[in-house]
A and B are shown apart, each in its own frame.
Chain A
């Protein structure tokens, strides 16, 4: 190599520049704690890190939804459990009535208790959590159940919420219902053949009736034909003389239809018709309360028989609630597991990001030390080379 001043200077400045750049890079890594501070530090790792960062944020967003969903479901489950407990105590009282434990006054008191339970259950069904109604389906902004009252007493409870569920993203490619559709929670939906509890001889027709829950059927004879009403006499349907296996009797108040077979009709009277598989919590309690208040003037034995039959209705809706509580519990369990899995995924993602991005501090210290030595050596050599020349030895 030439000993010219220019070449010495050029080589030294190149070496110093080389070591200086490395020292700066190591310094940046030490200061930030990261090996990758920009895309050019390691393009493939940078691409991976960006993807992992996005994935982490996405997982956090899913986690928020899952946790909120678990909170909603836990409260819903508690409410359903409370309602089930309330029904259980009502069932106990009804069983006592059937067993003859209570007299008329006692029955009236139980009717009042059932009324209180009804108010309680409606309130529970209209529970709000974090400003959203829990049992309104998609529509969480309005109370799902609205009551109609007469004389201060609830005569009907109508569902005005949405019949569609709201689905939320809880994991990649997975959506879960977030709010219950109250009508699906508090009403059975496995319609069965109506049961006629009286002695009129009328039975279920071949058509599929649309009435729900308990219906009071009145059978009269006008001297020529029998006639039947299910809207407390507001309208009547005349039974053909030869009878009919599938006569449609319409409730003018609701438009719902009861198909009856009148071929075996033998007498008149008012009787209760039950439609298993269609009961809802509220109408069941309304029916029972009204039954116990005996505004229809039933005799004691009739009343007790009907109460005995209605116990099945209460059991049906209670069973519904128990099932829902179990399924909600199961969903909570699934979501808890999902939440744990998402947490694990988030942790693994963070861990991988750390492995890719974080600097090895001990290695940085070693490299820094090495570079510093090289830097100093370059300076030292430069000093020695530039300080000696032949001119120093020429006299």
Chain B
């Protein structure tokens, strides 16, 4: 009766094959489905006389047509693609935030407009309309900085939130993967085939890989272990959940299994993209923008604190908040140095200049309180710290300022003649460094007569100029030295060796304290998001410092403020503010362009890989239809064979 067994085995084989084909066709559009094939083998052959004959067909198994290496490659590229896409999405949003190249928008135009307004003010320092223009351009620029700072900050917050949500999605997926691992194991331990479950699980792993780059390890009985960044997150049916959070330094990290620290960094996938955005890309852009804002604020303030507007000297001045314990803590630009305060007695017109030393570092550094005490010791001034702010008030009948103008009287005089002349000094010192100049008389006689002259030496004792005040000089005439200091000597007698001195101030604040304390500053804020025009300037444009000279008619401060536009600043690696900003924009553009290219390349690569995979694993309807026909015919043939056997048996039975 071997014949019937052979027939039955054929019917079974054909029937199973048709089932598998039906399953394939039903899942032709199922994502992640790998087509299956029945594996048929001839049954162990028997012997008939001397001849070996087969005993039918056996179903060896149903296999998935899958190329594991190809699948792994597709998964890895998919992970890269998701990371690039995530980064590209956010960077494109950043590029849109910057808004350059759109008509009439962008920080570039506002920076240029601000410095152009300063250039216009320098040409018209005494006119109100130009001061108002500076105020409005400054406010627009600050507003733009704040908007961009806030946008970047919001994007960073969104990235953190998105990263946390992605972490939750990862946890959900790994639970499902672990569950499927368990089910597959149960089936395959019992010699079963869990191809559909494997497909489902593998699809979940692909989804997981899009969220973060993972590594898989195949184990017995169909189990696949999954690890992420070296951390096992699925081991058989067991999972280790992850948490996404911020580290102490503000960067994004991952922790696993409720451990502290978020010390793990993830690569690849959306989470990898979000982490690189938060920890590097967005951080870098925000830092660059903050640097730009800080340098503009510092450079403008350093010039502005020393100048005066048309409103003149101050009777009262309040600054920004100061760190009570350390000057450097508030602003690292504060260093050892000196600042000078001029105090004017408005009744008598007498002007005195006082020097305040600032010890920013060293064994006993100054604090805001000690500086206030030093200022308070100046006759005519009262200084105190109120609500962490330096507050200076002039006594009635006094005013003060920080202008570096040359004092009208020498700082030291030693004349021995019987009727010495009066020396009047003026002008604005043009040197680079503060220096004391000594004017020593050579010769003896009356001003305007003989061979009388002045030898001018600097603080190092080097001769820098000689000035004729003898024959040929009309007493009282103004002589301008090469460094901007002007002197006028009235009629009188001088002896050889007589001298007078004056201080040439390139900067009336070499310590940076005034700017750090917010005294007569133009801007406030230490980042793009906090950059602001100080209220006193916004409310009183006459306070905009245009002059460095005593009579407030010059435009030196305004010229220097306008010149910041074209200055290479140390804090911006030698670039001008505009160049630095252009570099930021170009860098963002480069980042976006790079990722667009990489995205296209990876997308093309994935397309190629998927085409190759589809040749192996996808359901081809034409192929399945052909297989259908083959097994249909096989079934019909085997059925015919059995019918023939039946007829033979009936004939044999009829013969008995």
Contact = CB atoms under 8 A, between A and B. Distances in A.
Interface in B29-53: 29
Contact of B553 (A2, A138, A191, A390): A138
A4 interface: yes
B553 A46 contact: no
Contacts of A64: 120
B559 interface: yes
Contact of B108 (A44, A53, A168): A53
B586 A46 contact: yes
A50 B100 contact: yes
Interface stretch (A205-213, A293-301, A364-372): A205-213
Interface in B95-134: 95-96, 98, 100-101, 108-109, 112-113, 116, 119-120, 122-127
A6 interface: yes
Interface centre among B125, B554, B579 (most CB of A within 10 A): B554
A43 B607 contact: no
B603 interface: yes
A10 B607 contact: yes
Contacts of A257: 448, 475, 491
B448 A10 contact: no
B629 interface: yes
A40 B95 contact: yes
Q: Is the interface of B mostly helix, strand, loop or mixed?
A: helix
Contact of A166 (B449, B551, B554, B579): B554
Interface string B147-167: 000000000000000000000
Contacts of A61: 116, 119-120
Contacts of B626: 390
Contact of A39 (B449, B551, B592, B614): B592
B566 A54 contact: no
Given A39-B95, A163-B478, A207 B551 contact: no
Nearest to B604: A14
Interface in B427-473: 427, 446, 448-450, 470-473
A130 B620 CA distance: 86
A58 interface: yes
A348 interface: no
Given A39-B95, A208-B449, A391-B621, A50 B611 contact: no
A179 to B, nearest CB: 10
A36 B625 contact: no
A5 B553 CA distance: 83
A7 B629 contact: no
Interface string A1-26: 11111110011001000000000000
Nearest to A47: B586
B585 A210 contact: no
Interface in A217-258: 246, 248, 250, 255-257
B555 interface: yes
A180 to B, nearest CB: 14
A208 B626 CA distance: 124
A45 to B, nearest CB: 9
Contact of B586 (A43, A140, A175, A250): A43
Given A40-B95, A54-B108, A138-B553, A47 B582 contact: yes
B621 A390 contact: yes
Interface centre among A60, A208, A256 (most CB of B within 10 A): A208
B618 A2 contact: yes
A38 interface: yes
B126 A140 contact: yes
B403 interface: no
A39 B122 contact: no
A54 B565 CA distance: 10
Given A11-B607, A51-B582, A3 B95 contact: no
A168 B448 contact: no
Given A5-B28, A41-B589, A169-B559, A10 B123 contact: no
A152 interface: no
B123 A39 contact: no
A43 B478 CA distance: 56
B538 interface: no
Contact of B127 (A131, A162, A259): A131
A178 interface: yes
B95 A6 contact: no
A129 interface: no
B605 to A, nearest CB: 11
A175 B559 contact: yes
17 contacts: A3-B621, A5-B619, A6-B614, A10-B610, A11-B611, A14-B603, A39-B588, A47-B582, A50-B100, A54-B108, A61-B120, A64-B120, A138-B549, A138-B554, A255-B476, A259-B448, A390-B621
Given A6-B28, A54-B112, 9 more contacts: A4-B621, A6-B29, A7-B611, A14-B603, A37-B101, A43-B589, A65-B123, A255-B476, A259-B449
Q: Which 7 A-B pairs have the closest CB atoms?
A: A39-B589, A4-B618, A7-B614, A40-B592, A47-B586, A2-B614, A43-B589
Interface of B: 28-29, 92, 95-96, 98, 100-101, 108-109, 112-113, 116, 119-120, 122-127, 427, 446, 448-450, 470-478, 490-491, 549, 551, 553-555, 559, 562, 565-566, 578-579, 581-583, 585-593, 596, 603, 607, 610-611, 614-615, 618-623, 625-626, 629
